[in-house]
Amino acid sequence: MHCRCLSWALTTQPPVSDHSGKGYGSLRDEAVKLFNSLQQLEVALDPVLLIQGVLQTCQDLRPLRDEVYCQLVKQTSGVPTPDTPTYLRYWQMLTCMSCTFLPGTPVLSYLRFHLHRVQRDYPSTEVGSYASFIQEALAKTRCRENVPSCEEIQVLVRRQELQCTVHHPGPSSCRTPISSHTTADELVKKLMKQLGLQESRNAFALFERSGQREQVIGGSTIIADVLTGLSSKSDTDTQKWLYFKLYCFIDTENILPDSLEYTFLFEQCHEMVVRGQFPAPEEDLQTLAALRLQSLFGDFSTHSPCPPLDELFPGHVVEARVLLTLKTAQPPPDTTAPSQAPPPGRPPRFRSSFLAGALWSHASSSAHKQKAEQDLRLRGRLKEEGTAVMGAILEHWKGLVGYSQLDSMAAYLNIAKRWPGFGCTLYDIDFYISSTGSFCQKLWLGVGATSLSLYRQGEAEAMESLPFSQICSYGASDSSTFKVTAGDRDLLFETSKPTEIMQLMNAYLNITHQQQGQEVITGSDEGFHHIPAVLELPSHLV
């Protein structure tokens, strides 16, 4: 039998005891364990965890995949009553395997022959339906990064689709069915149709969001992998979800005010303001906060709910003001004279090491107490300043009587659009150096529809702007460095998101090429992009 031959071959393989730190034995030992696990499927009350364990072992130990596939073909062949629950368990296991990884080419041919035979011999049975489902899955499956979650396995054994919850700007979310093969690009297209955004000139993307952190999801990424990864992350206290929003801002002027896309634009703009990524005078920031309140609750009332200040106003503005006042109010340094040394000839009362330790302990305790007092004073001042800022915001709110929700959103966006960089995505730059010798720390790199711009954080005017037409190449030279070549200049940016910057530039250039009817060319494997070539794009193509 095929299984015997493969098991014999596995005896020649070395042990894999340290694979992923999971303590696996030799391939032969693991093959025997897997066979025993498959036998337990027949009697298990709930097979989900058993199925997941088999999948995980095969995911980690690639040579065992063919072995398990062959064992499952054997267990589902020549059965007199194939639709009994006992034998359907093997079909369920085979279904989950087929949606996770493929066997080698010889075994895949053998498996397809087996499925065709079952479809022919049992056309109107459960096993025939499983065979058809598996046949379709094999045509779409590529190796997954994560094995299916328990939730995904539960729907796979019923040959159903997984219901995926996707959040988007505003309080709403939507649910849409996906398969084990659905990619981010495919889900974006489905969501755009579901939300009525097909006619938009702007591009949308999916993000993986965890608390305040978010990361764009590549267009070819399998969504089921993302969901499994989100559910398995250790920071269980932090909310994690899929997030769908505007990605490339091509046309922000012709969005209909009563459309969902307009809501997206408003909510994402407000999110930038609250995060401190919108340079504006404090008076404008207070007006924006008041317009936000008017859009949420209508005219001011003493009975109106009021969200926390950090949901309306950038916290760094309040902190900067408090730190400045505390700095100017610092007491002069302590000028107390040091204690006199003992007169010559008189022995010290304590050993010098003991005395030094006692003095250090006293100094440490004093410093700790002083820091605690400073922290308490800082919290008090932050609370006072926050109350004052909220009072000013409420006064602005009282002056907006009669503004509808759409009026408030439009006024908000009109103020935001005064900034020349409106619509660009800002990335924190820790260090910047150019081949001309100029360098600066703590900047923003703005990626827009047609150019890159450099800003000092908090300043509205760009230090420098580079149109894409002047950029020869760009790319992530390592995990923390983004490099741009423009003419005879090389610009290096130290940032935590070099790949995301490259992906966004790719997306803008690709859209420009599509609008001009130009062909999109795939970039090189080294990660550098030579205009007009485009590397793999995130989930924004529509």
**pLDDT tens profile 269-284:** 999 999 999 999 999 9
How far is C-alpha 348 from the geometric centre of its chain's CA atoms? 64
pLDDT tens column, 326-358: 666 665 555 454 444 444 444 444 445 544 555
Q: Which CATH number fits domain 252-322+390-422: 1.10.150.20, 1.10.3720.10, 1.20.80.10, 3.40.50.300?
A: 1.20.80.10
Q: Which CATH number fits domain 425-520: 1.10.760.10, 2.30.29.30, 3.30.70.260, 3.40.50.2020?
A: 2.30.29.30
pLDDT beyond 60 at 480: yes
What backbone torsions phi and psi does residue 477 show, to the nearest 5 degrees? -80, -25
Q: Give the residue extent of every domain in the chain.
A: 22-157, 162-251, 252-322+390-422, 425-520
In angstroms, rounded to a whole number, what is the distance separating the alpha carbons of residues 89 and 102? 19
Architecture of domain 22-157: Alpha Horseshoe (1.25)
22-157 and 162-251 share one fold: no
What is the predicted pLDDT for the residue at 278? 94
- Mean pLDDT across the chain, nearest whole number? 85
Chain segment 68-89, per-residue pLDDT in tens = 999 999 999 988 888 898 899 9
SS3 per residue for 349-379:
CCCHHHHHHHHHHHHHHHHHHHHHHHHHHHH
Q: Work out the end-to-end distance of the chain between its first and last CA atoms, rounded to an integer number of angstroms.
A: 49
Query: Which DSSP state fits 310?
Result: G
Helices (H), 124-199: 126-140, 150-156, 184-194
For the whole model, what pTM was predicted?
A: 0.83
67 within 8 A of 3, measured Cβ to Cβ: yes
pLDDT at res. 6: 44
* Band (460; pLDDT cuts 50, 70, 90): very high
Above 80 in pLDDT, residue 540? no
**Model confidence at 232, in pLDDT bands (50, 70, 90)?**
confident
Q: Strand, helix or coil at 330?
A: coil
Q: How many CB atoms lie within 10 A of CB 253?
A: 6
Which stretch of DSSP H or E encloses residue 112? helix 105-121
What is the model's pLDDT at position 319? 87
Please tell me the predicted confidence (pLDDT) of residue 403. Answer: 97
The residues, ordered by sequence, that sit 6+ positions from 416 with a Cβ below 8 Å of its Cβ are 269, 273, 278, 288, 422
**How far is it, in rounded angstroms, from Cα 484 to Cα 502?**
10
Cα dihedral sign, 378-381-386-389: negative
| Rounded-to-integer distance, Cα 197 and Cα 542, Å | 10
206 to 173, 321, 484, 507: CA distances (angstroms): 13, 37, 26, 13
The runs of H, that is alpha helices, within 399-442 are 405-416
| Alpha carbon distance 481, 498 (integer Å) | 6
Beta bridge partners of 522: 534
For the domain spanning 162-251, the CATH number is 3.10.20.90
Instruction: Report whether the peptide linkage leading into residue 532 is cis, meaning its omega lies within 30 degrees of zero.
Output: yes
